[in-house]
Amino acid sequence: MTLNDWVSIATIVQTFFVAVSLGFIWYQLREAVLLTRTANGQRQTERAGHWQLQVAQDEQLAELWLQGTRTPDALSEVHLWRYQRLFMYVLNIYAETYHQWSEKQFDDADYSTWRIGLDQLILEKGFAYHWSSVKESFDSSFVHYVDRQLKRVDPSSTPLTAYHSAKHSTPFPKEGSEN
C-alpha cells in the first residue's frame, strides 16, 4: 500500500468518526432539552405547590384569596393591598410558565394543565378588576393571551360553567391567533 492509499483510508475513517460524533452531539442536545423542560415543569410545580399549600393551611389567606377574586370591592385597603401581592405572585407563576412554553422550554402536555388553571382564574369575577392595574408588568404575549381570554368571559356565569362554555377550538393558540 502506498502512502496515498493510507491517506484515503484515514480520510474515510475520519469522516465516519465525525458523523458519529455529530450524531452523539445531536443526541446530547436533545436530552438536554428534555431535561430542561422537565426541570422547568418541576420548578413551576414546586412554586405553585407552595402557594396552594399556604392557602390550604391558612384559613384567613384562603378567605382573602376568595374575597379578592370574587368580590374585590368588599376588601379593606389593607386586605386589597395584601390580595394584590398574592395576585401578582400567582400571575408571575402563570406568566413564567406561559413564557417557557412559548419558548418551547415547557412540554405541551404539562402546559395544558397550567393553561386550564390560568383560564379558570381569568374567569373569576374579580380578575379583570385587578388585571387592569397590573398587566403592564407582564410580557406583551402573555397580556395578549389574557386579554383575549377576558373577552370570552360571560359576566353572569360562574367560573366553572364559563370555562366549559369558553373552551378553545385549538389546544394552544399562538400569539396573534384568535383561538
What's the whole-model pTM score?
0.69
Number of domain units in the chain: 1
Determine the structural domain holding residue 55 and report its residue range.
37-165
Say how far apart CA 163 and CA 154 lie, in whole Å: 10
Instruction: Judge whether 15 lies within some domain.
Output: no
Show the CA angle centred on residue 52, arms to residues 51 and 55, nearest 5°: 90
Instruction: Judge whether 115 lies within some domain.
Output: yes
**Tens of pLDDT along 5-59?**
889 999 999 999 999 999 989 989 888 887 887 787 777 778 778 888 888 899 9
